[in-house]
Structure 1
């Protein structure tokens, strides 16, 4: 990976944060996808959708690490049965309702808090993927929502996708 790391700072809006994260994702996702494709194709045969977690474990932590280094918090108290990928994406904070089997879309959300603990909004992470073979048909993408409550986030995701 070429590591075109995003720069975050306190005072940024959730929209500015998603735009900076998207510049990083756009510069890195395909390079990483191509370099890991064979490994992840084999993994998909054994573990199906969990192979996408292996990919995201490499792609997304630099975004989350840089946010935390800038004083933002994405942490949420984990529950006993939570499944987490990329260190910050919790499956109970996601929806997968869009697309066909070879081009599905799962959207995760993280409520982002500033240095003082105040929510500034939610960073959404959309992961396009196939359920038939290992394939990421287009770039993962971040969206910004000003909402931070679960019901409002779900409504916001539906506005974006429907």
Structure 2
């Protein structure tokens, strides 16, 4: 089965980007999860949460690669000690703490800039996962925020997820 990547173009709103990305994720996440489950269950025994990075390295380039190809800037400049998964998900730009140990949620954020370098908003990537075994209990999901400052992004994540969480 051929993967249908989302189509992005300059002029899209952050909400349109989120909707297109979510259509792709909903169509692909479970198939990919099932295809990789045995391998990543074994990997989880030794590399623990890093197994989710391996999964996201296969899922998320369909979104971020398409945005980059359409001329969007999707990442802030990287620091030497940054850890990146899924092509563009940077751990210092994430928050985690929602849910139980078997259904935790980590939310990454990417400020999306148009072809002229102007921020159009922030794309949130919510990754449900277990800390007890390799398990993704439900589909990863994208959310759109119009805001693009760190304080406003943190407040937006808390609105989406509810109060709580700790910044990593």
TM-score range normalised by the length of the shorter chain? over 0.9
Contact 1:2 1:28 in 2 (8 A): no
Contact 1:106 1:128 in 2 (8 A): yes
Q: Distance in 2 between the 1:151 and 1:81 partners?
A: 22
For 1:13-162, list aligned pairs within 5 A.
13-162=13-162
Q: Distance in 2 between the 1:96 and 1:109 partners?
A: 12
The two structures have a TM-score, normalised by structure 1, of 0.98
> Cα distance, 1:80 vs. partner?
1.8
Q: Distance in 1 between the 2:112 and 2:97 partners?
A: 24
Q: Distance in 1 between the 2:44 and 2:2 partners?
A: 25
Secondary structure at the aligned position of 1:104 is classed as strand
Q: Distance in 1 between the 2:2 and 2:59 partners?
A: 11
Q: Distance in 1 between the 2:2 and 2:129 partners?
A: 23
1:80-120 per-residue CA deviation (whole Å, 9 max, x = no partner) reads 21111012000000000200000000000000000000000
Q: Structure 1 segments of 4 or more deviating over 2 A? A: none
The alignment yields a C-alpha RMSD, in angstroms, of 0.8
> Cα distance, 1:2 vs. partner?
3.6
Secondary structure at the aligned position of 2:143 is classed as strand
Secondary structure at the aligned position of 2:157 is classed as helix
Q: Distance in 2 between the 1:4 and 1:24 partners?
A: 7
Report the equivalent of 1:12.
12
> Cα distance, 1:4 vs. partner?
1.7
5+ long unaligned stretches in structure 2: 163-168
Stretch moving more, 3-12 or 106-115 = 3-12
Contact 1:102 1:131 in 2 (8 A): yes
